[in-house]
């Protein structure tokens, strides 16, 4: 994005801007870039006033809403659905990480650079950096070392002395514009500021720029210390519940700089703000004994819709449709039982980026506990043993359903996915983080 801003400023980019826009800068309003109405938020003022800097520094007012998008979505799909997502704060009121805003950024680059974002940079930057969306970079330690060297030289490739990232873009992205953590999480760290794609903090008195990234089964950490001319990359093909990903790179930096050894995982509390839905992971599938419901479980079966989150169809172990039998057979495979022996619960296929299935376990009255899971019925890689990966294990995600004229009218995720500023008021539908209407 910084390169695109610089190209417009220098006249290198000749892509026509919408009528009425003379410049393309960090202060350009998002709505001005989408005159056909693709951009809109639920909050009208935020829709009108949000600029590039706002959305890339995570002060748009939207919480994560990480389960609103899937692998099948295009960047435009994600952008068009933002209007249906409930805000947690007003624009610029509070920092809150939101992956979709970087999907928006990728879409803007594709629209105004004239090439797909996944191709942007190939053959045009001297490092031949492969640029892709978050979680989509295929790289190696050799590539990452070149990238770190360029960052430590403020955007200049030290091998060729050629500028890869304009200095203004480097400064804009690494300088904190918002506060993601307002007080230190430990005696050796500072509060944390957020630039654009980078956190900035003091670690044992040393200036550090860093960021983490994750997809299920993979994690990365990139950190560099501009004043010390040191950088490090950590990559893992695991979910790392022990915090090794932050502990090992930090210990290496401490040894190189002669710093005291910190407690392993000291930065994990800080980095949780930028990893994928925190910290909910598992390799087992746990069911509790169901509590008798006042409404028969079969009454909850059927299709539920939400414009921002998509649709799903709930099944019980007694459901007989072809769709339900496939869902139930998948769950049976990871439990090593027959579909008819599955515990009493509601099951659905719901392919998201972070999960493939959902399960609702009855809690009390019209309330359920939500589990979002990925089922690997054929195992993974060489190990063909079926297993389940639960992104929500350990989280208390409550779903409450409502009756209308004696029928189930819909269900809402009431809390557990995101944090909102104040307890919502109003009807159940108005109070829900996300409300799904039964059709």
Q: Are residues 125 and 149 in the same domain?
A: no
Domain boundary among 209, 244, 263: 263
Domain shared by 228 and 208, yes or no: yes
Report if residue 167 sits inside a domain.
yes
Domain for residue 307, yes or no? Answer: yes
- Torsion sign over Cα 361, 366, 367, 373: positive
Contact yes or no for 33/111 (Cβ under 8 A):
yes
> Residue 129's domain is classified under what CATH number?
3.40.710.10
In a domain, residue 13? The reply is yes
Residues of the domain holding 215: 141-263
Environment class of residue 405 by beta-carbon count within 10 Å: exposed (0-12), middle (13-18) or buried (19+)? exposed
For residues 320 and 431, state if they share a domain: yes
Q: Which two tokens stand for residue 46?
A: 């935020």
Task: Give the pLDDT means over successive 10-residue stretches in the chain (439 positions).
Answer: 91 88 94 95 97 97 94 94 96 95 94 76 44 56 89 95 93 96 91 96 96 84 95 84 81 95 66 49 47 82 98 97 98 92 95 94 92 94 92 85 95 82 79 95
Task: Write the DSSP assignment of 260-279 as a string of letters.
Answer: PPPPTTTTHHHHTTTSSSTT
Whether residues 250 and 336 share a domain: the answer is no
Judgement on whether residues 81 and 19 belong to the same structural domain of the protein: yes
**C-alpha–C-alpha distance, residues 30 and 107, integer Å:** 11
pLDDT for position 240: 64
Answer yes or no: is 285 within a domain: no
Distance CA 109, CA 112 (A): 5
Domain endpoint, select from 136, 159, 178: 136
Q: What is the pLDDT of residue 128?
A: 46
- Residue 129 sits in the same domain as residue 220: no
Residues linked to residue 63 through DSSP beta bridges, in sequence order? none
The pLDDT, as a whole number, for residue 127 is 39
At which of 214, 243, 263 does a domain end?
A: 263
DSSP per residue over 184-217, as a string? Answer: -SSTTB--EEE-SS-EEEEETTEEEEEEEEEETT
Residue 367: burial class (beta carbons within 10 Å; 0-12, 13-18, 19+): middle
CB 252 within 8 A of CB 245: no
Residues 145 and 42 in one domain: no
Which of these, 64, 61, 73, 74, lies nearest to 30 by C-alpha position?
61
Structure tokens belonging to residue 293: 């419901």
For residue 38, give Cα distances in angstroms to 19, 23, 24, 41: 16, 20, 18, 10
Residue 131's pLDDT is 46
The reply to whether 386 and 408 lie within a common domain is yes
CA-to-CA dists, residue 338 to 250, 328, 374, angstroms: 48, 9, 19
276 located within any domain: no
Sign of the Cα torsion 40, 43, 48, 53 reads negative
**278 contacts 386 by C-beta, under 8 angstroms:** no
CB 174 within 8 A of CB 198: yes
The pLDDT score that the predictor gives to residue 419 is 75
Predicted pLDDT at 216: 80
Largest interatomic CA distance in the chain: 73
Is residue 374 within a helix (H) or strand (E), and if so which, with residue range? strand 367-376
Asked whether residue 307 falls in the same domain as residue 241, the answer is no
Number of domains in the chain: 3
- Rounded to an integer, what distance in angstroms lies between the CA atom of residue 295 and that of residue 298? 8
- Residue 240 and residue 303 in one domain: no
Report which secondary-structure segment, H or E, holds 38.
none
For residues 132 and 146, membership in a common domain is answered with no
Question: Are both 105 and 4 inside the same structural domain?
Answer: yes
The answer to whether residue 183 is domain-embedded is: yes
Q: Which helix (DSSP H) or strand (DSSP E) does residue 355 occupy?
A: none
- Answer yes or no: is 12 within a domain: yes
């Amino acid at each position: 994005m910084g390169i695109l801003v610089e190209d417009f400023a220098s006249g290198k980019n000749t892509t026509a801007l919408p009528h009425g826009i003379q410049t393309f800068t960090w202060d350009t309003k998002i709505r001005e870039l989408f005159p056909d109405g693709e951009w809109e938020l639920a909050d009208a003022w935020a829709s009108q006033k949000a600029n590039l800097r706002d959305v890339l520094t995570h002060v748009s007012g939207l919480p994560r809403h990480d389960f609103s998008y899937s692998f099948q979505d295009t960047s435009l799909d994600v952008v068009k659905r933002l209007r249906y997502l409930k805000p947690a704060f007003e624009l610029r009121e509070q920092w809150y990480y939101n992956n979709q805003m970087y999907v928006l950024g990728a879409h803007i680059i594709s629209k105004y650079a004239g090439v797909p974002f996944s191709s942007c940079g190939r053959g045009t930057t001297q490092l031949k950096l492969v640029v892709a969306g978050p979680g989509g970079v295929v790289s190696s330690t050799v590539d990452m070392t070149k990238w770190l060297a360029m960052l430590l030289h403020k955007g200049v490739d030290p091998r060729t002395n050629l500028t890869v990232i304009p200095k203004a873009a480097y400064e804009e992205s690494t300088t904190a514009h918002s506060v993601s953590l307002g007080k230190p999480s430990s005696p050796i760290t500072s509060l944390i500021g957020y630039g654009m794609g980078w956190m900035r903090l003091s670690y044992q008195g040393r200036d550090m720029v860093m960021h983490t990234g994750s997809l299920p089964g993979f994690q990365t950490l990139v950190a560099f210390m501009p004043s010390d001319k040191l950088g490090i990359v950590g990559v893992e093909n695991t979910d790392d519940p022990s915090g090794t990903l932050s502990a090992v790179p930090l210990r290496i930096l401490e040894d190189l700089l002669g710093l005291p050894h910190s407690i392993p995982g000291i930065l994990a509390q800080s980095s949780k703000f930028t990893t994928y839905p925190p910290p909910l992971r598992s390799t087992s599938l746990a069911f509790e004994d169901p509590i008798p419901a006042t409404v028969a479980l079969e009454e909850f079966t059927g299709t539920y819709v939400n414009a921002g989150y998509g649709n799903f169809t709930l099944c019980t172990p007694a459901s007989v449709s072809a769709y339900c039998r496939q869902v139930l057979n998948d769950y049976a495979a990871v439990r090593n039982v027959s579909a008819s022996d599955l515990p009493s619960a509601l099951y659905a296929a719901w392919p998201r980026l972070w999960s493939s299935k959902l399960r609702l376990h009855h809690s009390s009255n019209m309330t359920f506990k939500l589990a979002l899971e990925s089922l690997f019925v054929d195992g993974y890689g060489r190990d063909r043993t079926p297993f389940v990966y639960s992104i929500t294990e350990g989280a208390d995600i409550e779903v409450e359903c409502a009756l209308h004229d004696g029928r189930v009218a819909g269900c809402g995720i009431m809390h557990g996915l995101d944090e909102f500023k104040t307890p919502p008021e109003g009807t159940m539908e108005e109070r829900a983080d996300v409300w799904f209407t039964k059709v």
